[in-house]
Amino acid sequence: MNPVSERLKEQRDHGTSVFPCGLYEVFEDTVWSGAKHHWHDEMEIIYFMKGDYKVNVNMESYFINQECFFFINSGDLHSIEPLSKSVESAIVFNPCILSFEHYDMAQTRLIHPLVNREIQFPHMLESTHPAFARIKQEYLEIVNHFHQTGFFLAKDIQMVTENLASQLFIRASLLKILGTLSSFSLLTEPEKTDHYRVEIIKRSLAYIRSHYQEKLYIRDLAQQANMNEQYFCRFFKKALGKSPVSYINEYRIKQAIILLQTTDLPVMDICLDCGFHNLGNFLREFKKDTGFTPLQYRKHFSPKRS
Whether 4 has a pLDDT exceeding 60, the answer reads no
Q: What angle do CA 278, 284, 290 make, to 5 degrees?
A: 130
Claim: this prediction has a pTM higher than 0.75:
yes
Using an 8 Å Cβ cutoff, are 175 and 99 in contact? no
> Which structural domains are found in the chain, ordered by start?
12-183 (2.60.120.280), 196-305 (1.10.10.60)
pLDDT of res. 12: 59
Average pLDDT (118-146) is 97
Q: When comparing pLDDT for 53 and 75, which is higher?
A: 53
Whether 6 has a pLDDT exceeding 70, the answer reads no
Using pLDDT thresholds of 50, 70 and 90, give the confidence band for residue 306. very low
pLDDT of res. 10: 53
Q: What is the pLDDT of residues 197-227, one digit of tens each?
A: 888 888 899 899 899 999 999 999 999 899 9
Strands (E), the chain: 21-26, 35-38, 43-50, 53-57, 60-64, 68-72, 78-82, 87-93, 124-126, 151-152, 159-160
Task: Please give the share of the chain, as a percent, with pLDDT higher than 70.
Answer: 92
